[in-house]
Amino acid sequence: MNLRTLLEPLYFRILRSSISKTPNHIAIIQDGNRRYAKEMGQKTGFGHRQGANTTEMMLEWAREFGIKHITLYAFSTENFRRNEEELGELFELFKDRFLKVLTDERVHKNKIRVRMVGDKSLLPADVLACVEKAEEATKEYSNHYLNVAIAYGGRNEIVHAARRIITQVRDGTLSPDRITPAMVEANLYGGLGLPPVDLIIRTGNEYRTSNFLPWLANGNESSVYFCAPYWPQFRKIDLLRAIRVYDQRKRSGSKPSCP
């Protein structure tokens, strides 16, 4: 056991005690699954499965810290371009984890509502069926919200919202001069009513937000935390460091430098 391992619990306690403000809504870009698998000498599917396990742990940490809304960037519209083998592995993983919601005691004990954010028309029918079962099983819950962005693209989402509004104008049910930012927001994300994003986290040493929730994140000037670990390596202390970035910004009124 090295010195860092010995000191980390103390550092964690000091770090946590220094935080007074916790974000309501965190959006996470879970990057690095494939690179992690490659470095471990494993196939891509191994990285995705390990990443899914990290997601489950992270949800427990977030609940412990009092975070009400979590939105995960699991699969973008561009990801459909990946090879058939990887797509098959990902779709099987999605089905497994959405069906797990039905029997996961933590979901029902903590009343976590699970929802998909994205273009459902792009999903294979068997994957969509599993998604809808999870949504139906948790639709009455409101203590916590887990939003999983699948077949999602920020620009695509805004285009869909524009089409909905244009349809209302053409039908005569909406006057153009009544279009407001609030109305646009109401037509985003399938009408789920997601709150503004307070903090974006991206793992894997990538320094971009990849068109993720542009209206709710960029429009809200959310805090951003980039970190080096691949998503399967993400730890509780990494989440706490991200929350510290948000806390520092809220208290100072300006964006702090990354730790």
pTM equals 0.89
Q: Is 31 a catalytic residue?
A: yes
Q: Is 238 a catalytic residue?
A: no
- Catalytic residue (one of 2, 33, 53, 79): 79
Tokens of 253: 């009124």
CA dihedral for 217, 110, 136, 122, sign (positive or negative):
positive
- Catalytic residue (one of 2, 24, 31, 177): 31
- pLDDT one digit per residue (tens) for the chain, 259 residues: 577 677 788 888 999 999 999 999 999 999 999 999 999 999 999 999 999 999 999 999 999 999 999 999 999 999 999 999 999 999 999 999 999 999 999 999 999 999 999 999 999 999 999 999 999 999 999 999 999 999 998 888 888 888 889 999 999 998 888 888 888 888 887 778 888 899 999 999 999 888 798 888 866 678 999 999 999 999 999 999 999 999 998 887 754 444 4
What distance in Å separates the CA atoms of residue 137 and residue 97, rounded to the nearest whole number? Answer: 14
